Each structure stands twice: as C-alpha cells, then as structure tokens.
Amino acid sequence: MRLVEKIIEDVKKKQDAAVRFYTKKFDKINLDGFSVTKKEIKRAYDLVDEETIKALRFVKRNIELFAKRQMQQFKDFEVKKDGIVLGQKVIPIERIGVYIPGGNYPLPSTALMCIVTARISGVKEIIACSPKIKPETIVAADIAGADKIFRVGGAQAIAAMAYGTETIPKVDKIVGPGNIYVTAAKKAVYGDCGIDFLAGPSEIMIIADESADYRLVAIDLLAQLEHDVNSKAFLLTNSKKLIKKVKNEIDKQLKGLSTNLIIKKSIKNLVITLVKNIEDSIDIANKKSPEHLELQLRDPEKYTDKLKNYGSLFIGKFSAVVFGDYCSGTNHVLPTGGSAKYAGGLSVKDFVKLQTYQKINLKGAKKLGPTASKLSRIEGLSAHNKSVEMRLINNYIN
C-alpha cells in the first residue's frame, strides 16, 4: 500500500509524466503516447486472424444477450398514494474505466466482459487501460465498444483513471480485475472514484460424488491453478476412490500442460477433502463462498437451492468453468476470498444508479407532517421540525 500510495500521489501531481515514469520502471517500456490510435486499431485487426475475430464477436453476442435480460430487471417506476408520488429512475454512470490485465496472459475476454456489459447498461463513455496490450485485446476492446483505449497498466493506470491526466480522462468508476498492486490501488482510490470490488487470487471449488468423471474433475482443478501461483482449488467429495483417481490424473495431465511451471507452484493451494456426505459439502461451500463452484454430482439440481454463496455456479459435468470464463454469456469478473457472501459478479447493476425522487402536494404534506414533526423533535433537529411546520401553517400555504 505504501508503494501504491506513492504512485497515486505522483500521478495526481505529475499526471502523464508520472504514468510514463512508472510504466518505464515496472513494464520496461518507453511510452511516447498512451493512446491506441485508430490506425493502430486497424492494424491490430490485420494482425489477428479471422477465426479469433469471429470468436470475439460470438462472445460479444452472448454477453449482450445475458446483460440485456439483466437490464430488464431494473426499471423506472412510480408509486402514488395520498398526494405523494415516489419514484425510481435507472440512470447509467456517465464514464467508466475498465482495467484489462496484461500480465502472464493477454485477456481479451475481460475486455468483452466489462465493456459490453457497460455498453448495454447505457454508459455514455467507456475507456480501457491495459499494459503491454496485445492486438487481440485491442480488437476485443474495439468490438466491445470502448471509446478510448490506453496502453498503460498497474497502479499508475488506476490512479490516472481515478484522477485524470492530460491524456487519460477521469472516470466515475473503475471495474476489472488485476494483480495485487492494481487491487491495492483500487482500494486506495475508492471514495474519490467508485470501484466494482477488490478481487483476490482466482479460485474454484468442486463438489463431486462417486458418479463424477475423475478426468474432468482433475482438468478443471488444473485449469484454475494455471491462472496464477496464488490461485486456489478445492475438491470436496464423499468418495475415497474418486480422490485417488483425481490425484493420479492430476499427475498424469500436468505433464502435458504448457503452464505446468505455474501449476507446480500453485498446486500447494489445492485442498482435497473427504466428507461424510454431500450435505456437509454444501455447508462448507456456503461458508467458504468460492468464486467458481462446480457441481459434478449424480443429481446436482437437488442441491442448487441449498447453495447461497458463490461467484458463479456451474451445474453438471458439462458446465465447465472455462465456458463461463470465455463465452457462455455470464460475467467472469467475480467476487473472491469469501466476498460472495455479500456480493455477486460484475453485472449491469455495477453500471447504473437506482435514484429515487418524490413529488408531494399539500394533501401529502398534511399526511406526512405529523410523523416527520414528531421524529424531528425526538432527534432534536429543530430546523428539520421547522421545515415541516412552515409547510403546514395556513398563512404560509395560502
């Protein structure tokens, strides 16, 4: 936090110069300009093969489909009674900043998840920041609908979006995952700028019984562990045979993975637990509140209503986390570290404000007046009390 706070203060004071300095220091890149120009966007399309572009557009459509349905849940409305009109307006946030990681792997999928959802929510302007940005990420951000794309990352990018620089505009809210420094920076700027949530290392929990395919269980655990050396994986099962088969399969499959060097470090975070029955696993899952929760059970539907805390739920052996990560349509920016107890994944809700209003006539004021007057006296707020009484004095009203 001390390092991040120093970076933020420097960006606030020196703006573009500080962003340029820290980009050189941490990313070893000399940046003449931060913006990805229209010419560079066009070139990125030329560098990315047609099949990839087709896949990115397919993902965009699926995210749009789900986000549009989510948006239908948020509506303007009015309630009218006794001269009182109470209302709600759904108002999009005006300017959003999206952080797209660019560390171990390029993440064009994150660009789609965040930007498409913001666009469906009606956000007026969306800017994207990503370090060492790859052509695939540029294309994804453009397809998703970003208004501006910047080739900067780290805590300096968060600070730039939170406070603005000569080049990077100040945003109202920042969304998107990042490393420990990005997360610390989001925490530090919160209050001056909105954020989605603080994301920690990625995690998966699989609840499985003797009917589960041990090969699929093994590969899904490995798929999570390859994200990062701090990634976490949990297997809960009531089958000793499954545990033995999964452990052997992990050793077998690990040898053929290009990411095995990362997994060999993160595998220390794999916890396999034998439980007495599946109901015990449900209790553990609700307490642990994992980011991704897979049910590889004979009758998974039997347990879905009992599960309350998870970032996203994957029901049945064909519902792999990888589909949610990339293309099914639900958002892959999800709460971690137990925060699914009180938060859900990124959604249209993160890009709109539910703002209320009221319109009260004389009849309504007389209806509410005695109660407001009584409570203001109890709380000792005399100006509050007078605000009520003045509206109810006949001479004042006339």
Catalytic residues: 291-292
Q: Which whole-number Å values give the CA distances from 338 to 204, 255, 309, 311, in the listed order?
A: 12, 32, 8, 9
- H or E segment and range at residue 203: strand 203-208
Nearest to 253 by CA among 227, 206, 214, 202: 214
DSSP annotation of 300: T
Nearest to 295 by CA among 311, 278, 280, 283: 278
Q: Sort strands 232-237 and 77-81 into parallel, antiparallel or unpaired.
A: unpaired
Question: CB atoms < 10 A from the CB of 343, how many?
Answer: 17
Instruction: Look up residue 336 and give its two tokens.
Output: 């971690």
φ and ψ of 88, to 5 deg: -130, 135
Question: Is the alpha carbon torsion for 251, 255, 257, 261 positive or negative?
Answer: positive
Contact 205, 177 (CB under 8 A): no
Nearest to 23 by CA among 181, 172, 148: 181
Helix (H, G, I), strand (E, B) or coil at 62: helix
Q: Which residues contact 392 (CB under 8 A, 6 or more apart)?
A: 365, 366, 369
Contact 242, 217 (CB under 8 A): yes
In angstroms, the CA 281 to CA 271 distance is 13
Instruction: Look up residue 132 and give its two tokens.
Output: 């060492």
The amino acid at residue 107 is L
Alpha-helical segments (H) within 154-259: 154-163, 180-189, 214-225, 240-254
In angstroms, the CA 224 to CA 216 distance is 13
Instruction: Look up residue 27 and give its two tokens.
Output: 């990313």
Contact 174, 162 (CB under 8 A): yes
Contact 97, 164 (CB under 8 A): no
